[in-house]
C-alpha cells in the first residue's frame, strides 16, 4: 500500500459536497450559539429588570449603515437621549432609537417609560422590547437549525460515509485489471472552484467472464485528464458483490496493478 488509510480517506472526502456541508453546518451552529448567547442575556436582563420613568434630555439623528440583500444601505436613524435614576438615586444616561414620528414629537423634559438592568444600569431600553427580541431569537435559531441540521450535517455526513466506503473498498478490495472507457463531464455535481468536475469511466472483467462497469470519483479536469481511453487501471471490488467496485485513481496500490499487468503479458 503506497499511502495510509487516513490519507486515502481524506483524498476521497475533500470534495465539494464535504466543504459545502461543513460550511453550512458551521454557519448554522454559529447562528444557534449566537442565538443562545443572546437568549441567555435576555433571560439575565429579565431577572434583574426595573421599570422607571426617565426624562428626555435631547434628540439625535444621523445616517447609519446596515447590511441588506443588496449590499450596504445607509438610512436615517432617530434617537432620543434620556436620564433616569436607579434605586440608589444615582443618575444614568441612556439613548434609544425611535421612529421619525416619535422623534418629531419628543422634546426635552418629556417623560419616557424605560426599563433597565439593576446589575448594569447602563443597559436600558423601551418596555416591550423583549417581544421583538424573542421573535428575533426564534428567527435566528430557525435559520441556524435549517443550515446546520437540514443542509450542513446531512450533506457532510453523506460525504463522510461515502468516502469511508470508497476508501475501505480500495484498501481491502480484491484487485482486477480494468480498462478506462472515457473521461466524462460530471454535469450533475457541484462545481469545484467555479469549474465543472469529471469522472473516469471504466470496465473490468473477472475470471468467470463477467464484466462490470464503474465510475471514479468526481475530479477537476487537471486530475481526471491523467487517464486516457484504453489505458489500464487497477480496480478494487467486493468479491461478494463485484458491482461494488472502485478504481484506484489515487494509485495507492500500484504494486497490485503491476502484478496484474505482468500476468496479462505472460498470458
Choose among 68, 158, 82: nearest CA to 113.
Answer: 82
What pLDDT, on a 0 to 100 scale, did the predictor assign at position 190?
Answer: 55
What is d(CA 24, CA 147) in angstroms, rounded to the nearest whole number?
Answer: 5
pLDDT tens per residue across span 118-150: 999 888 888 877 766 778 888 899 999 999 999
Query: Considering the entire predicted model, what is its pTM?
Result: 0.71
What is d(CA 162, CA 178) in angstroms, rounded to the nearest whole number?
Answer: 22
pLDDT tens per residue across span 17-60: 899 999 999 999 999 999 999 888 888 888 999 999 999 999 99
SS (H, E, C) 8-55: HHHHHHCCHHHHHHHHHHHHHHHHHHHHHHHHHHHHHHHHCEEEEEEE
Is the Cβ–Cβ distance between 72 and 83 less than 8 Å? Answer: no
Q: Which residues contact 60 (CB under 8 A, 6 or more apart)?
A: 78, 79, 80, 81, 95
How large is the average pLDDT for residues 229-244? 96
Q: Of 2 and 157, which is predicted with more confidence?
A: 157
The pLDDT of residue 5 is above 90: no
Give, for 221, the enclosing helix (H) or strand (E).
helix 221-224
Length of the chain: 267
- Cell for 210? 463477467
Mean pLDDT over the full length of the chain = 89
Give the CA diameter of the chain: 103
What pLDDT, on a 0 to 100 scale, did the predictor assign at position 4?
Answer: 81
What pLDDT, on a 0 to 100 scale, did the predictor assign at position 150?
Answer: 96
Percent of the residues in the chain that have a pLDDT greater than 90, as a whole number = 62
Count CB atoms within 10 A of the CB of residue 143: 15
Confidence of residue 192 (pLDDT cuts 50, 70, 90): very low
Percent of the residues in the chain that have a pLDDT greater than 70, as a whole number = 94
Amino acid at each position: 500500500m503506497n499511502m495510509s488509510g487516513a490519507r486515502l480517506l481524506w483524498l476521497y472526502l475533500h470534495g465539494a459536497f464535504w466543504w459545502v456541508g461543513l460550511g453550512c453546518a458551521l454557519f448554522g451552529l454559529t447562528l444557534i450559539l449566537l442565538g443562545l448567547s443572546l437568549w441567555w442575556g435576555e433571560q439575565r436582563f429579565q431577572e434583574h429588570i426595573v421599570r422607571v420613568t426617565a426624562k428626555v434630555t435631547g434628540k439625535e439623528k444621523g445616517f447609519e449603515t446596515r447590511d441588506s440583500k443588496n449590499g450596504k444601505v445607509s438610512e436615517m436613524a432617530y434617537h432620543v437621549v434620556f436620564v433616569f435614576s436607579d434605586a440608589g438615586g444615582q443618575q444614568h444616561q441612556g439613548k434609544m432609537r425611535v421612529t421619525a414620528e416619535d422623534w418629531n414629537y419628543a422634546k426635552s423634559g418629556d417623560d419616557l417609560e424605560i426599563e433597565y438592568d439593576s446589575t448594569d444600569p447602563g443597559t436600558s431600553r423601551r418596555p416591550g422590547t423583549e417581544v421583538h427580541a424573542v421573535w428575533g431569537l426564534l428567527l435566528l435559531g430557525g435559520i441556524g437549525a435549517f443550515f446546520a441540521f437540514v443542509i450542513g450535517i446531512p450533506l457532510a455526513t453523506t460525504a463522510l460515509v461515502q468516502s469511508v466506503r470508497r476508501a475501505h473498498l480500495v484498501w481491502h478490495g480484491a484487485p482486477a485489471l480494468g480498462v478506462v472507457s472515457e473521461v466524462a463531464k460530471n454535469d450533475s455535481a457541484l462545481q469545484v472552484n467555479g469549474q465543472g468536475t469529471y469522472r473516469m469511466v471504466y470496465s473490468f472483467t473477472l475470471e468467470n467472464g463477467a464484466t462490470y462497469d464503474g465510475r471514479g470519483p468526481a475530479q477537476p479536469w487537471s486530475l481526471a485528464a491523467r487517464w486516457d481511453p484504453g489505458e489500464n487501471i487497477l480496480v478494487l471490488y467486493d468479491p461478494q458483490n463485484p458491482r461494488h467496485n472502485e478504481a484506484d485513481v489515487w494509485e495507492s496500490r500500484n504494486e497490485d496493478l503491476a502484478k496484474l499487468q505482468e500476468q496479462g503479458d505472460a498470458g
